[in-house]
Structure 1
Amino acid sequence: MIAHARDEAPLEACGILAGKQDRVVEVYRARNADCSPTSYRLDPEEQYRIFVDIEDNGLDIVGIYHSHPASPAVPSNTDRKQAYYPEAMYFVVSLADPAEPHVRAFRIADEEVTEEEMVVV
């Protein structure tokens, strides 16, 4: 996620994390259809192809990630409104300090945000 965010900066990067039981085994980089430094939208056709690949490989959607190139790793109002998958974790990668990227994980349901613990193994 961090490498993808750095590759796309100063635009927001986005992608999907797949795996089993909250354990990520595959990272799918996706194109930000918004091509924006302040918003993201997964390209619908690419999102569909990713979903098919996830299903074909017997995986589940674990999370959706995007970056904030110049702001903190906190979901924006827009992020909360566009969190269409309440079963997924939402990861925000902040590059506000490029030398020290910061990643946080959240559950978002009905625009309510709850930060979740993230364990990197």
Structure 2
Amino acid sequence: MLRIRADLVDEIVAHARREHPNEACGIIAGPEGSDRPERFLPMRNAAADPDYPGLPNTRIDPETGEKIEELRFGDTFFIFDSKEWLAVHREMTAREEEPVVIYHSHTQPYSEAYPSAIDVESALEPNAHYVIIGTKDPVRHELRSYRILDGVVTEEEIDVVESYMFAHTGADDVPDRD
């Protein structure tokens, strides 16, 4: 189960809405081994850059059943900017943090808030919660969380809390950090 503060969920939703129709992406870091998301780190989706060459993709049109060959850009997938990811990774290491949540949005009308094949292939953090925010509806959003390990996707419950202090988190029942 992913236990996450409401203010962090609000940050994810706001970031996804700002980036729409491109996919938003980022990390919520927390103390190593804690499984406690604390520090919101929005990242740049390099696939949304106008100079990004695109990624070949084949999909099936849900209405016609036809195979569609296309290039994927920032509105259909995300990739962390490599320089930014390196800087964030170094900063997390220096602060003794790890990526507790890796999030991104799905924006297309045909796209569910479920990991795509490319999402599964790029899930390299075995302890992370992979959160997907669906923003195809301009008013409502869909928020789902998954564990992805060795290509196996397992959906998990999300417990949104106001504070970790009173969220029955066991030995970590201490006030939130600033």
Question: Same fold judged by TM-score > 0.5?
Answer: yes
Tell me the secondary structure at the aligned position of residue 51 of structure 1: helix
Q: Which residue of 2 aligns with 1:90?
A: 130
Identity of aligned residues (%): 40
Structure 1: how far apart are the matches of 2:123 and 2:86? Answer: 17
| TM-score, length-scaled by structure 2 | 0.65
One-letter amino acid of the structure 2 residue matched with residue 45 of structure 1: K
Q: Secondary structure at the match of 1:120?
A: strand
Instruction: Please tell me whether residue 106 in structure 1 is matched to residue 151 in structure 2.
Output: no
* Equivalent position of 1:55 in the other structure: 93
Q: How far did residue 59 of structure 1 move?
A: 2.0
> Equivalents in 2 of 1:56, 1:119: separation in Å?
29
Whichever residue aligns with residue 34 of structure 1, its letter is: A
Task: Tell me the residue number matched to 2:79.
Answer: 41
Please give the alpha-carbon distance, in whole angstroms, between the structure 2 residues aligned to 1:33 and 1:77.
19
Q: How many residues get paired? A: 121
Query: Rg larger in 1 or in 2?
Result: 2
Post-superposition shift, 1:58? 2.7
Structure 1 residue ranges (4+ consecutive) displaced by more than 4 angstroms after TM superposition: none
- 5+ unaligned residues in a row in structure 1: which ranges? none
Q: Determine if the alignment matches structure 1 residue 64 to structure 2 residue 75.
A: no
TM-score, normalised to structure 1, is 0.93
2:158 match: secondary structure: coil
